[in-house]
Amino acid sequence: MDTLEIYDIAIGIERRLSNMYHRFSTLFKENTEIQTFWIGIANHEKSHSETLTLSKGYLMWNHPSIRKRRINLIQHSDTKELETLEYVLKEYERKIRRERVSLQEALDILLKIENSELNHLYKRLINLSGFKLLPRPENSHRFIYEHMKTIKSFMDKYYRGNQPAIQVEDYADETVLSSPLSEVLQGKIVEIESEMSYGFIKGKDGERYMFLPEDISSGTWEDVKRDTPVEFSSIRLPWGPRANNIRFRK
């Protein structure tokens, strides 16, 4: 599977998610607040598909040879994650066609999608193309926080399932969803996105932890290098674990 095929699959998934959430807005139209929530979520996914479409075009414009031969610039793990997500989405779509889902079932689907690797892959594809999503790199993270805060507020009011215990905390001048700080963990830096000012740590537990410059407590962003061993704590966000209080090990 080459890079352009990956873009096409990701664009298709975002469009299908938007369509599914719009369908939820129709199912629950008796309640204006619930309908408005689903319309907002659907539009959020639609904006992702549009941005990925622009990014694909930007990549082809700057790298004409990519249209002439199969080029794979995507990690194998990303491909597998995308294939898994596509399979899961097909199951959700089949369920929705067969029966009328309840609000709780719809929210369960939303939580599982938001906890998938889709957001991570979306950013990787944007970065790969060199397409500038926002004027200031940190705004992309704030945008995600605002999106998740909207979901959190709605879940607090309407969700009745076995929702993970999450709370709103002030963190890095932004309100985010998190669980309490974890014990001290160890790992190494495996990915750095310099232009977007974020990176990933691979913990010894096998988990990937996103981090921002403000998560570094000992050292600076300029000290960040691949394969650097680190100690850190973690915060469990709805879209994945995030490292903080990062200290470089010698």
Tell me if 72 is assigned to some domain: yes
Last residue of a domain, one of 133, 150, 175: 133
- Same structural domain for residues 20 and 109? yes
- 51-95 confidence digits (pLDDT tens): 888 888 777 776 655 554 445 556 666 677 788 888 889 999 998
Q: Which pLDDT value is given to residue 231? A: 94
Rounded distance between C-alpha atoms, residue 2 and residue 144, angstroms: 28
- Same structural domain for residues 126 and 8? yes
Q: How many domains does the chain have?
A: 2
- Same structural domain for residues 196 and 89? no
Segments in the chain below pLDDT 50: 68-70, 133-139, 163-181, 238
Q: Which pLDDT value is given to residue 200? A: 86
- Same structural domain for residues 27 and 93? yes
Q: Which pLDDT value is given to residue 16? A: 94
Tell me if 113 is assigned to some domain: yes
- 154-169 confidence digits (pLDDT tens): 887 887 765 443 333 3
- What range does the domain containing 215 cover? 185-248
8 A C-beta contact, residue 198 and residue 210 = yes
Cβ neighbors of 138 (< 8 A, separation 6 or more) are 197, 212
